[in-house]
Amino acid sequence: MFMILAWGIWKARCAFLFQNKTCDPERTLANALVQVGSQKLILSQPTPKEHAGLTAMNLARFSASGYCCQSDGSFDHNENGGAAFVCKHDGILIGYELNPFVKATSPFHMETIALLMAIQNAVNWRIEECVFYTDSETLVKLLASDSYTQALQAVDWRSYSELMRVVLLLKSNAHYRCVFIPREDNLVAHQLANVARSGQFYYKGYTYPLFSTFESGCTSRIPR
């Protein structure tokens, strides 16, 4: 608790000095409590070894159908958020979406919204079997938990509505799975979510040109 609170104070201090954002002690404490709860949830349930060491080149092999979606959420302390997902079939782009949100409540809230976007679109596209990748280990652990009610006590309760919709969609689609991947293997979705948040930008597409330069680490082609 001490280390997480100190880290939260440091972030608030940097935001005040470099971004001219007002420090709110109560919000800093509330964010620290959410982080503590998230860490307890992660530590209580070890990551399955079968998904250790994933790389961007072998993500789709966990789905027999070849479909996989990568999602990510972005959040800042002004309650601005962004969510994005990218869906592929055997490495070929099927579609992607980036969506801005105002009055977001937490990073976990945005991660949940991003995953919900991906699953809803897979259902709309009538994809029967798909693996959904997210770099939110907390979210993956929660969805794998036997008791959603107990697990919810460790995360942002304001995400409840979106989280329950994710749970219902996963339960009603038996061949959907949610898997954790490291941030470095999720960079395209991560960068698209940041664009959605920082520019309050919405876009839905099915071809690469909008963000093809993300593959080389360049974001110059993203519309502002």
Q: Is the pLDDT of residue 131 over 70?
A: yes
62 vs 45: CA distance, rounded Å:
21
* pLDDT band per the 50, 70, 90 thresholds, residue 70: very high
Give the residue, 47 or 130, on which the prediction is more confident: 130
Whether 109 contacts 159, CB under 8 Å:
yes
Asked, for residue 23, whether it belongs to a domain, the answer is yes
Q: Which pLDDT score is estimated for 146?
A: 64
> Per the structure block, which two tokens stand in for 23?
């420090």
Is residue 224 assigned to a domain? Answer: no
Do both 30 and 63 map to the same domain? no
CATH number of domain containing 94: 3.30.420.10
Phi, psi of 79 (to 5 degrees): 65, 30
Residues 31 and 128 occupy one common structural domain: no
- Answer yes or no: is 222 within a domain: no
Task: Tell me how far CA of residue 170 lies from CA of 61, 80, 98, 104, 142, in angstroms.
Answer: 20, 27, 22, 23, 13
For residues 149 and 115, membership in a common domain is answered with yes
Q: Which domain holds residue 68?
A: 54-216
Task: Tell me the average pLDDT across 160-168.
Answer: 88
Helix residue ranges per DSSP H, 96-186:
107-124, 137-144, 148-152, 160-172
Do residues 123 and 165 share a domain?
A: yes
Q: Does 206 reside within a domain?
A: yes
Is residue 102 within a helix (H) or strand (E), and if so which, with residue range? strand 92-102
Q: Is the residue at 34 inside a domain?
A: yes
Does pLDDT of 159 surpass 90? no
pTM over 0.85: no
Residues 112 and 31 in one domain: no
Give the mean pLDDT of the chain: 78
Helix (H) or strand (E) holding 178: strand 176-180
Q: Which of 13, 10, 121, 128 is nearest to 69 (CA)?
A: 121
Same domain? 119 vs 161: yes
